[in-house]
Amino acid sequence: MASRVPDPRRRFPLPRVLAPFVTERTRAKGHSYFVTGTVSIMDASSEFVSAHVRGTRMYQVMVTRENAGYTGACECPFFLDRDDICKHIWAVVLAADAEGLIPADGEEAWLDVSQSPGGAAPSERDGLGEHRRQMPDPWERFLDGVLQQAAFGESARPLPRYANGELLYVIDRAQTLQGHGVAVQVQWHQRKKNGEWGRPQPAAFEPSEIEHLPDAADREILATLVGAADPYAPSSFAHTVYARASFRLQGPLTDRTLWLLASSRRLFLRDTDGPADELRPISADEGPPWGFKLDLHDTGDGRRELSGSLTRGDDRMAVSEPQLVLASGHMIARGSLSRLEHGGAFAWLAELRRVHRQPTFPPDATPRLVETLARSRVDPVVLPEDLRYDVLETTPRPRVRVERAKAQPRFAQDHDLTAIVEFDYDGTIVPRDARTAPYDPERRRMIRRNAAAELDALQRLQQLGFRRPWPGAGQSEFTVAVLQFGRAVRVLVAEGWHVEAEGAAFRTAQNMRVQVRSGIDWFELHGDIDFGDGRMVPLTAMLAALRRGEGTILLGDGTRGMVPEDWLRRYVRIAGFGDVHENHVRYKPSQTALLDALLEAQPSVGVDEAFARARAAMTSFRGVSEVEIPPTFTGTLRDYQREALAWFDFLRTFGFGGCLADDMGLGKTVMVLALLEGRRLQQDGPRRPSVAVVPRSLVFNWIAEAKRFAPELRVLDYTGPQRADSSIGEYDLVLTTYGTLRRDAARLSEEEFDYVILDEAQAIKNAATASSKAVRLLRGRHKLALSGTPVENHIGELWSLFEFLNPGLLGTSSAFRKASIIQGRNGGDDLALVSRALKPLILRRTKTQVAPELPSRTEQTIYCELDEPQRHAYDQLRTFYRASLLKRVEQDGLAKSKIHVLEALLRLRQAASHIGLVDKRKPDAPSAKFDVLVPRLLEVIDEGHKALVFSQFTELLGLLRARLDAAGVTYEYLDGKTRDRGERVEHFTNDPACRVFLISLKAGGLGLNLTAAEYVFLLDPWWNPAAEAQAIDRAHRIGQSRHVFAYRLIAKDTVEEKVAELQASKRELADAILSADPALIRNLRTEDLELLLS
């Protein structure tokens, strides 16, 4: 067998190219063969495919390439008889294409039958290729296709059955009287040799045979009957023909079909009263309908006698005379099918035909007689005056009764409740599956049911999770899962349903009265829920039921009160922020704005005079007069910074803590230093120090900023081991870290502070952490938090922050969390609500808002404090180089040691940034610069800005990439090896998700325009100010419409800080060190080297 290697020339799919040469019917059948796996390829090459196709038997098929086209041959009778492409050949074409065999070379390929009888392979033919042929003309293929379609139509015509006989249609009276519609059977008989008709037999038809029947009436009748097969006919193998010849007429089909049958003059009635084989012919009576008249007349002794008759004009007929009467409005009598108008009294007609004597009713039977007349829907107009009743037509109120299933489920969550559906028609309760018309005997009225309204109600139940317990269950029966019932019943009651559970009905709340009253140092929220009919329940009772896991509350009359869902969301949230007492919810004065915001959307809330005054005072803080800047403050405050001082004053006036949440770079530290300098000069009470808890990396920056802007402020660095000997009371500002606070919480909690300030306050976003618990122990007159991102992930973080600033303001943590969950998983609405309530306590300004007051470019140096591991590694390296270099200089002189000096200073600079630059085995070592940089980058990203990060060490950028990847930050990267610079810049500029660009000094110093960025971070000091300015100018250049903030990161107490000191006095020497240029280091002296290595 030849190896089947797919041909790479598959530019033209074989089925698409060859489809015009095969009829659509053949292609459809061939496709069915292919997808069902009947094709097995036995041999193949680039010129032919030989296959077996399993059909009626196994057929051999050959498809061969012939010049520009293909030929096919098959052993099947269709191919041999008609000399045309068969379904087996097409199935092989599909299989060959699927495996990439004999691909077409172009769109001009064709397919025709092979002239070789056996479909021989090319190797069996002569070398001249005498059997090869060209593509036939299109008109030949078209005419061949027409003949094939015509031939198929002729072959599909079935041999006519029953053509030599006559069809009969027989109504079986006995089976019809059993119910389920009119029983009709199709029969046929044929003439005997003596000319008489033979015995009729059941006639079963295939649907395809109907259109070929010679009689048009038969075609119409059978086409109608084909959709009304008799499901009650015997279905065993022995009765197959009988079943296929039997039909049941029901509904709208009945009238049309009966008249077609009767008009055919071949309709018969099989009557059980006569011989079994006797068929009575039935014709069509096209006259007016017969009417049934029900007659109830007095017998003279107080009794009533019932009789009835069938009339048509002057003609009368006893009710017992017709062979068959039908509720559909037809009857068979006197050999004809006639119409019947029974006026809704068909049940009475049927029963009168069944009994042999006319019934009489005693006087005391009148109520029961009227009820039966009404329930059987007899038109009251035709009844005597004293037997008439009223008819009620109205829209019902749906009802559902729910009970627990008797059988206990395996799992509690699988518990189903049983539900029975009923309908209330003006006080008359009607089960959904009631079969007769409902009747109210007290008011003597029949209820005409509203089927559309009832159906709508059932569909509503299914939408809410109710379902049928099993397919054959009654129309009144449903089940519903316990977990779904609570929500469903709330919706149903709100929509006007009557709902009962275990015999207790549900009531929905009609109204709620809410009032706020004031106490000595609290506010109380009182509420009463009105469930109608004078039934009032305190709001706190409903809240207590909810805490017990109950969605309703038991009322005095035994019913259960239910509050609408939106009320629940509203008041559970309100109560969650307060302290629930027996008949009210209590709030602290600090919660005035919150309570006001919570009640803002509530209708008709009454408040007393004290709460109204407090609310007005809370909303008036924007009118606070400007606060004077302390004369000893050496900085200049812009207008928005002055506004912050006024806001600090407002917070002190009302005794609130607040969060200053300005964008990064707007000078939050400077504003607080101005505040503290003012407090140094004047405090409300005995003088106390203030404490600021800051990240370790910011301690030195606070000290530096205090020296610059408030030089008279006495600052204590309460971070090192020497802190144990510190006298806190002698200082104006105590600086400590979150880590130090955790260790010294006991001591610091004993101090009385003026201000307790948290910088980067998102550090306590998790209320359960040790840092969060420790800061809440600090005691102070006033509290401030500084954070550009007070809420980073979810609203719960806001609770932790304000529990420090204003304890109890947002209620308990669990209640606050539950309120958020009820409002929505994401807490979005709660966040908006709390935001409105806390608006006076959070001051946030963005760069855009204060843009007119900002300079075009702001530069700042941030000093980074090395943590213990990095400090230890740096000091070891410095000690080593100090000893070795000073010894070498002493022996060889400074001039001969310059290369060694520059190498040592380079290594120390690298260690100041990241010890991994010196020791490649420590890429995960801590870095003070990364600890300062990464949180600021995250803040920049959260605020929607973009940032550039520069370094002259590409290895440092590589280490930073790992930190950013771990933080999930999307960034771009550019160094000297980058080739697609333009694509990297375009991605950073145009992709909103890419907000950080890491750039090396060598690659990014020149030629880049990155005005999409507003923040620039310089990871290490550069060789001169001009180089730094070039980097900053990547963002701050023509086209930049926003203000640019630039930050230099300097490692404190390292060679970087020493070089910064040299830059102020010995610019050339500093440049030489930072550029590592031996030619520029000629002015280095031994005392300079000792300074650098100190």
Integer angstrom CA distances of residue 130 from 109, 134, 236: 19, 12, 62
Q: Count of CB atoms within 10 A of residue 279's CB?
A: 17
Candidate ranges 238-242, 788-792, 879-883; pick with highest mean pLDDT: 879-883
Give the confidence band of 284 by pLDDT, cuts at 50, 70, 90.
Answer: very high
pLDDT digits (tens, 9 = 90+) for 954-1005: 899 999 999 999 988 999 998 878 777 778 888 888 898 999 999 887 666 5
Q: What DSSP assignment string belongs to 148-162?
A: HHHHHHHHHSPPPSS
What is the sign, positive or negative, of the torsion defined by CA atoms of 1021, 1027, 1031, 1037?
A: positive
Who wins on pLDDT, 378 or 813? 378
Average pLDDT (583-590) is 74
Which 8-state DSSP code applies to residue 197? B
Matching residue, tokens 């390929």: 109
Length in residues, the chain: 1094
Q: Which of 1064, 1078, 1070, 720 is nearest to 909 (CA)?
A: 1070
Maximum C-alpha span of the chain: 154
What is the sign, positive or negative, of the torsion defined by CA atoms of 884, 889, 894, 897?
A: negative
Q: What pLDDT shows up at residue 337?
A: 95
Q: What pLDDT shows up at residue 1007?
A: 47
pLDDT at 943 over 80: yes
Q: What percent of the chain has pLDDT over 70?
A: 76
Candidate ranges 538-547, 608-617, 1018-1027; pick with highest mean pLDDT: 538-547
CA distance 511 to 493: 15
pLDDT at 357 over 50: yes
Structure token pair of residue 102: 């004999």
CA terminus-to-terminus distance, the chain = 87
**HSE (side-chain half, CA atoms, 13 Å) at 832:** 6
Give the confidence band of 718 by pLDDT, cuts at 50, 70, 90.
Answer: very high
Contact residues for 511 (Cβ-Cβ < 8 A; gap 6+): 529, 530
Give the confidence band of 133 by pLDDT, cuts at 50, 70, 90.
Answer: very low
CA distance 564 to 282: 66
pLDDT at 688 over 70: yes
Q: 179-182, long-range: CB within 8 Å, 24+ apart, which pairs? A: 180/232, 180/248, 180/250, 181/228, 181/248, 181/249, 181/250, 181/254, 182/248, 182/249, 182/250, 182/254, 182/258, 182/326, 182/328
Average pLDDT (720-740) is 89
Which 8-state DSSP code applies to residue 238? G
Three-point CA angle 490, 495, 500, nearest 5°: 55
pTM beyond cutoff 0.85: no
Give the confidence band of 914 by pLDDT, cuts at 50, 70, 90.
Answer: very high
Q: Are 1020 and 1075 in contact (CB under 8 A)?
A: no
Q: Which of 1071, 226, 1000, 558 is nearest to 1008 (CA)?
A: 1000
Structure token pair of residue 600: 């803002």
Which amino acid belongs to residue 1029? A
Average pLDDT (652-674) is 87
Within 682-812, residue ranges assigned H as helices are 699-709, 738-743, 745-748, 770-775, 796-805
Contact residues for 771 (Cβ-Cβ < 8 A; gap 6+): 738, 741, 742, 763, 764
pLDDT at 204 over 50: yes
CA distance 163 to 166: 8
Q: Count of CB atoms within 10 A of residue 1081's CB?
A: 22
Who wins on pLDDT, 395 or 695? 395
Structure token pair of residue 91: 């199935």
Q: Which of 781, 762, 779 is nearest to 771 (CA)?
A: 762
SS3 labels along 300-313: CCCCEEEEEEEEEC
CA distance 539 to 554: 13
pLDDT at 732 over 60: yes
CA distance 94 to 141: 21
Q: What pLDDT shows up at residue 130?
A: 41
CA distance 414 to 402: 16
Within 288-424, residue ranges assigned H as helices are 346-354, 366-375
CA distance 642 to 920: 50
pLDDT at 88 over 90: yes
Who wins on pLDDT, 418 or 1066? 418
To which H or E segment does residue 601 belong? none
Give all domains of the chain, ordered by start, each with its CATH number. 14-156 (no CATH), 166-284 (no CATH), 290-388 (no CATH), 395-502 (3.30.2130), 508-618 (no CATH), 621-853 (3.40.50.10810), 857-1092 (3.40.50.300)
Which segment of 256-270, 289-303, 496-510, 709-723 scores lowest on mean pLDDT?
A: 496-510
DSSP E strands in 509-624: the ranges are 511-518, 523-530, 536-538, 552-554, 560-562, 579-580, 585-587, 605-607
CA distance 192 to 204: 21
pLDDT at 126 over 70: no
Average pLDDT (125-150) is 55
Q: Are 171 and 282 in contact (CB under 8 A)?
A: yes
* Phi, psi values for residue 376, rounded to 5°: -90, 5
CA distance 414 to 416: 6
Matching residue, tokens 């049940």: 347
Q: What pLDDT shows up at residue 1040?
A: 56
- At residue 951, the 3 state secondary structure works out as strand
Which segment of 123-127, 288-292, 329-333, 1017-1021 scores lowest on mean pLDDT?
A: 123-127
Candidate ranges 97-101, 548-552, 568-572; pick with highest mean pLDDT: 97-101
Which segment of 290-304, 354-368, 470-484 scores lowest on mean pLDDT?
A: 470-484
pLDDT at 406 over 80: no
Give the confidence band of 830 by pLDDT, cuts at 50, 70, 90.
Answer: low
Who wins on pLDDT, 391 or 132? 391
Q: What pLDDT shows up at residue 413?
A: 47
Q: What b/e sequence results for 656-683 when a residue is b if at least 16 CB atoms lie within 10 Å of its CB, and e otherwise?
A: bbbbbbbbbbbbbbbbbbbbbbbbbeee
Q: What b/e sequence results for 343-367 when a residue is b if at least 16 CB atoms lie within 10 Å of its CB, and e otherwise?
A: bebbbbbeebeeeeeeeebeeeeee
Q: What pLDDT shows up at residue 353?
A: 87
Give the confidence band of 764 by pLDDT, cuts at 50, 70, 90.
Answer: confident
Average pLDDT (484-513) is 77
Q: What pLDDT shows up at residue 465?
A: 85
The burial class, CB within 10 Å (0-12 / 13-18 / 19+), for 418 is middle
Who wins on pLDDT, 615 or 722? 722
Who wins on pLDDT, 948 or 519? 948
Q: Mean of the per-residue pLDDT values for the chain?
A: 79
Beta bridge partners of 1042: none
